[in-house]
Amino acid sequence: MRKKFNVTGVCNPKLHYMVNIDKNLQQMKDMIEEGDYFVINRARQYGKTTTLCMLDNFLCGEYLVVHLDFQMLGDEDFASETAFVTVFMRELLDNARDDIPEKILEKLELFAYGHKERKSLNEMFHCFKEWFRETAKSVILMIDEVDSASNHPVFIDFLAQLRAYYLARTSKGTPAFQSVILASVHDIRHLKKKVRGSQEISHNSPWNIAADFLVDMSFDCDGIAGMLMDYEKDHKTGMDVKKIAGLIYEYTSGYPYLVSRICKLIDEQVSLHLKPAWTKEGFLEAVKLLLLEKSSLFESLLNKLEDYPELGGMLYEILFQGKEISYTMASDALINAEMFGFLKKVNAKMVIANRIFEVFLYDYFLTDSEITKGEDYDISSQDKSQFIANGHLNMRLVLEKFIAQFTELYGEVPERFYEEEGRRLFLMFLRPIINGRGNYYIEAQTRTALRTDVIVDYGMEQFVIELKIWKGNAYHEKGERQLAEYLDYYHLDTGYLLTFNFNKKKQTGIREVRYGDKLIVEAVV
């Protein structure tokens, strides 16, 4: 059976090309051996379910693993303590029946199939205590999709029971689960806040016993390369494995779904019309397809932006204003942004999680802009062919037309015109020109309140356009030097400098300057 790249459901190494995560599994096993209870708290489609399934197999024979999925339970299963105990025990017995001593099994079955009017969590845990005394193997409880329980107070009571037995295990030697592993998007503190509601928010979580889960579940370059080498052994495409792995990591920062989806698109779609497909051109084509499709991941991100307006405002400030945001646990917006996968911590600063999400967010904010709905600002979309000659993008002409359009729209820049508005206008002008053939992204290291570098990939060509706010001649000359150095990094001979000058005596237009062996096309608006 032909192996494939998989982005739906659980991955199986016999059926799918996968990044090897044995190192992660060993780290989790080490935590289990220490008796830790912990939460695998990661964004949507970050490989949580696959990791749990592989951890289950990794521990097989050494531990008795009870692996449950709360997504299979309905709201009625959380309606009362009796309903929850009944369905929980049925799921548990389906997983572990053959490994439970007979006399304990009979008692557990009463909870699952008996007709008692009331079944309590306390009684169920007392039964567990007897089971743990009798069993030869330590028992591990794994629960996937804990978010499904987020609206139900009975689940909080269940966590409280787990916590009580965890503490009693140390203080009194009471038998308890060796380890409990919960997998969710929301962390347990957020679950409690949601359950209790706005009138009774509590930060005293019943899950404050959880150990820090520091396992890095993102894929690194070497891991991606290993997966591609497995693919190359089967298909012999002649790809430069190290180069393609580097490109994938550069755009995804190792986000598991994005890594696998790009590979799947190259393998199953790009390869149908581009030979060879495993090249930079094929990779960029896959990125374009990825950003155009309506995936469940992107739909989830959009839903979060609608549900949490303050989240969108913060992301906008980072992207368009170059605002630097330090991480703090006091900010719910920051907690949500990291929890949902939008942002990540880098040197105590919050940055956009990966380049794919960055382009996705730029497209979202630019499409939603009021400016794009006006009749005046559409020259680039009316005849984008004027900017393309023999498949090559004429970036100088793009800047010339942008200056003309900008001047026609605004003339003398009004006081209400904020500095970030110019950047937004340029990106809105650029996007329809390259749409369908190229991609653009913002270089995160240079995105500040005064400077932004836009990198454009069009066909096999790359363009660097530095956007700056005019702050005097000295600062401008420094910008030319920075751009020349940046061109060296990208192995380019020509760069573009777009300066927004808000002085009334400015001289607009385009000129060319030489900086060492680099040609810089400067445009002033």
Q: For residue 283, what are its two tokens?
A: 């990779």
293, 318, 347 - which closes a domain: 293
Q: What is the mean pLDDT of residues 325-333?
A: 77
Asked if pLDDT for residue 501 goes beyond 90, the answer is no
Same domain, 392 and 248: no
Query: Rounded to 5 degrees, what angle do the CA atoms 16, 20, 21 make?
Result: 115
Same domain, 229 and 133: no
| Among candidate residues 452, 454, 451, the one with its CA nearest the CA of residue 440 | 454
258, 293, 328 - which closes a domain: 293
Q: What is the mean pLDDT of residues 258-270?
A: 98
Name which residue leads in pLDDT, 369 or 300: 300
The answer to the question of residue 366 being in a domain is no
Handedness of CA 284, 286, 292, 296 (dihedral sign): negative
**Number of neighbouring beta carbons within 10 Å of residue 516:** 12
pLDDT at 480: 85
Same domain, 263 and 411: no
The answer to the question of residue 431 being in a domain is yes
Same domain, 176 and 228: no
Task: Give CA separation, 183 vs 5, 48, 431, in Å.
Answer: 23, 7, 38
The answer to the question of residue 145 being in a domain is yes
Same domain, 185 and 230: no
Which parts of 435-514 fold into alpha helices (H)? Answer: 473-490
What backbone phi and psi angles, to 5 degrees, belong to 220? -90, 175
The answer to the question of residue 478 being in a domain is yes
Residue ranges making up the domain that contains 516 = 375-525
Q: What is the mean pLDDT of residues 475-490?
A: 84
Same domain, 230 and 274: yes
Asked if pLDDT for residue 282 goes beyond 60, the answer is yes
Please, what is the end-to-end C-alpha distance for the chain in angstroms? 59
DSSP secondary structure letters along 258-306: HHHHHHHHHHHTGGGTSSS-SSHHHHHHHHHHHHHS--HHHHHHHHHHH
Q: For residue 475, what are its two tokens?
A: 């600062």
| Among candidate residues 276, 340, 279, the one with its CA nearest the CA of residue 314 | 340
Asked if pLDDT for residue 432 goes beyond 60, the answer is yes
Which of 237-246, 321-330, 424-433, 508-517 has the largest mean confidence?
A: 237-246
Name which residue leads in pLDDT, 443 or 25: 25
pLDDT at 423: 77
The answer to the question of residue 352 being in a domain is no
Asked if pLDDT for residue 38 goes beyond 60, the answer is yes
Q: How far apart are CA 413 and CA 12, in angstroms?
A: 58
**Number of neighbouring beta carbons within 10 Å of residue 299:** 11
293, 324, 340 - which closes a domain: 293
Q: What percent of the chain has pLDDT over 90?
A: 55
DSSP secondary structure letters along 65-78: EEEEEGGGS-GGGG
Q: How confident is the model at residue 205 (pLDDT cuts 50, 70, 90)?
A: low
The answer to the question of residue 85 being in a domain is yes
Q: What is the mean pLDDT of residues 353-369?
A: 87
Same domain, 385 and 440: yes
Same domain, 179 and 276: no
Per-residue pLDDT tens for 86-110? 999 999 999 899 889 998 999 999 9
Asked if pLDDT for residue 362 goes beyond 50, the answer is yes
Asked if pLDDT for residue 377 goes beyond 60, the answer is no
Per-residue pLDDT tens for 147-204? 888 778 899 899 999 999 999 999 999 999 999 999 998 877 655 555 544 444 454 5
Q: How far apart are CA 332 and CA 144, in angstroms?
A: 24
pLDDT at 191: 58
The answer to the question of residue 324 being in a domain is no
For residue 211, what is the DSSP state? B
Same domain, 143 and 239: no
Domain count, the chain: 3
Same domain, 72 and 175: yes
Per-residue pLDDT tens for 59-82? 988 999 999 999 888 888 898 999
| Among candidate residues 260, 251, 185, 267, the one with its CA nearest the CA of residue 223 | 260
DSSP secondary structure letters along 10-64: ---TTTB-----HHHHHHHHHHHHTT--EEEE--TTSSHHHHHHHHHHHHBTTBE
The answer to the question of residue 269 being in a domain is yes
Same domain, 38 and 186: yes
Same domain, 517 and 420: yes
